[in-house]
Structure 1
Amino acid sequence: MGCRLLILVMCLLILPGCMHRRVTIHSVPEGALLKVDGKDIGYTPAHFDFTWYGTREVQLLLDGYETRTEMIEVNSPWYQKFPLDFISDNFAGRHILDHRQFTFQMRPRRTDVSGDVIKRGNSLRNEALHGQ
């Protein structure tokens, strides 16, 4: 009985594990340029793979819409906490996918009325001339 248990444990240890971590970002409307931590990823819906859990800066840019910058938190699941992470990464015996999805609503860019822009410019010029 002990020999069989040892053989079973040895067989389980040689089974490879594989951990795949991925984030998918959606925007409404679609087609926004996605930047993650300053790096261009693509146009939404877009995804990226990652190695480490933590906070990421996500920036969405789309013509006619305000640029949206958000900090997203990608927390580790229970099986990726020490010391279980070593087992799930290497000896799970199957492919594990940790897939997170985030959706962001884009706001249309407000167009400034030219009169407001001129008034603001004159105000700034007057402040500069008077040393304020």
Structure 2
Amino acid sequence: MTVRTNPAGATVSVDNQVIGTSPAASSFVYYGTREFRIEKEGYKTETIRRRFNPPWYQMPGLDFISETLWPGDLRDERIIDVELVPQTLAPTGEVVQRADSLRTQSQTGMVNAPR
């Protein structure tokens, strides 16, 4: 499988294991749901869950034919393209207002979950 990002150079993890910097490639043996985490400074961290279904030649019964009798080499290549979104910083005034609100709530003993 290959993970490509725009812009390139992001750190790519698959199932919590770093596979490299995009474009990053890794082989896989098992099918199912995989979790991809793409991180790059200055961009929002993307977490993507993607399900990989086995191709026709991996289905029970057909796998015997494709692995032993098929004359050629069958390869299952998956490409994941990710468009990274620039990280936006909240305006200073908004951050200060939220901090003041949290300080006031903590002093009164009623703290609401942050937004």
TM over 0.5: yes
Question: What's the CA shift for 1:118?
Answer: 1.0
Deviations 1:55-86 (A, max 9, x none): 10000000100000000111111111112123
- Where do 5+ consecutive residues of structure 2 fail to align? 111-115
- What is the aligned-residue identity percentage? 36
Counterpart AA for 2:33? T
- Residues in 1 aligned to 2:69 and 2:61: alpha-carbon distance in whole angstroms: 13
- Residues in 2 aligned to 1:90 and 1:60: alpha-carbon distance in whole angstroms: 38
Q: CA RMSD in A?
A: 1.2
Counterpart AA for 2:66? S
Deviations 1:17-56 (A, max 9, x none): xxxxxx1111111111000000000011111101111110
How many residues are paired up? 110
Counting strand residues as a fraction of each chain, which structure ranks higher?
1
Q: Of 80, 93, 98, which aligns to 2:58? A: 80
**Aligned pairs for 1:1-132 within 5 A:** 23-132=1-110
- Residues in 2 aligned to 1:65 and 1:89: alpha-carbon distance in whole angstroms: 43
Counterpart AA for 1:70? I
Higher RCO (CA-CA < 8 Å; seq separation 6+)? 1
- Residues in 2 aligned to 1:31 and 1:86: alpha-carbon distance in whole angstroms: 40
Deviations 1:78-131 (A, max 9, x none): 111112123323443332111111101100000122221111111111111111
TM-score by length of 1: 0.78
Counterpart AA for 2:64? F
Q: Which has the larger radius of gyration?
A: 1
Counting helix residues as a fraction of each chain, which structure ranks higher?
1
- Residues in 1 aligned to 2:83 and 2:76: alpha-carbon distance in whole angstroms: 24
